[in-house]
Amino acid sequence: MRIVAESTVLAFVADVLRVLLRIRSAYKLDGDAFWRRTARIVEGADTQAGGFSVGPVGVSYERGRVPAEAPLGNLYEVVGEALGRLHAELGSPVLLHVNNLENLSEDDERRAARLIRDLRDFFLVPSAHWVFAGASGVDDSVFRAYDQAAGIFPEAIMLEALRADEVTELLRCRYEHLAQDGSPLVPPVEPRVAADLYALYHGDLRNFLRLLSDACALALGIEGISPLSAERIVAAAAPRYAKSIERRIGTTDFDYLTTVVRGTSAGEFTVGTTAARTGLGQSGASRLIGRLRGSGLVVQTRTEGKRVLYRAEGQVLIALGYSPSSQTV
């Protein structure tokens, strides 16, 4: 399930019931009056009406749709019974995964916090386990914004970024799975090459996998297929990435970004080095870095005394043609 800006209590609970109905459908479990009523609550039901007369008019037939029943305070009991029944039918509790929290704006997070507060009792229904996935910070802004909800949620678990050897193993297992039926498989990217490129992304797995997907779509041919080298991946993706970044931040800031990053060997820079390379003053360089950080293109890495160090994100390095075998951007 997903939490979005428009999510309401009724919409969220309806999503829960839809998931439970889909689970039953996947296991081909027979329905009864309770499950048919549950389906009507969230989806509505098709109806057919027909008639026959002996008079001049012979047959009438009508097909319609009954709108979804409006829940009137009884959804808590419906969800509880549905989870209990499903637990008994499958012999195991249900794990419900709620996604998309990392994509909410500040205003959306406040609405999500109220939603979590209002749904508190639903999260305590037996036979269900809940996993919420989001970015760092959402724990405080959503789950601990109200005391009513804070007490039932444990501390958030921060997942560590995958190491390069784990990415290698991830791709190896994926290729092994794809070849299970005996079909010939040419790995689009060798795991060791992928691990080298992953190092540019400093743990940003989502955007790293997007790079592999983009590069394979652009560079793989039909004949003479062979695994892509890191250089070929970068060459295929760089023009598109550069154009996308320039559209997002404008030509001027893109030129500044290029000037700052080139020659750093994918290393770090400060406001001072940014000012020296671009010709901007200290305040102008500071504002530039602020804009680039706001666009997700630059991140702060560490501090040394009063010096704050930054580096470009992996997508920027790809856009500027950097590859692991390069010494400079």
What is the identity of the amino acid at 318? I
Single pTM value for the model: 0.60
Quote the pLDDT of residue 124.
93
Query: Are residues 273 and 320 in contact, defined by beta-carbon separation less than 8 angstroms?
Result: no
pLDDT bracket for residue 45 (50, 70, 90): very low
CB contact at 8 A, 324 and 230? yes
Per the CB < 8 A criterion, the answer to whether 220 and 189 are in contact is no
d(CA 325, CA 19): 47
Mean pLDDT of 143-152: 91
Q: Is a pLDDT exceeding 50 seen at residue 303?
A: yes
Model confidence pLDDT, tens digit, residues 252-262? 999 999 999 98
Output phi, psi for 65, to 5 deg. -140, 125
Instruction: Indicate the pLDDT class of residue 55, thresholds 50, 70 and 90.
Output: very low
Which range (16-20, 145-149, 219-223, 299-303) has the least confidence?
219-223
Contacts with 230 (C-beta within 8 Å, 6 or more apart), sequence order:
193, 196, 197, 323, 324, 325
When pLDDT is cut at 50, 70 and 90, the band that residue 267 belongs to is: confident
CA–CA separation, 283 and 161 (whole Å): 34
Q: What is the pLDDT of residues 59-115, one digit of tens each?
A: 444 444 444 544 545 788 999 999 999 999 999 999 999 998 888 888 899 999 999
- The per-residue pLDDT of the chain, averaged, comes to 84
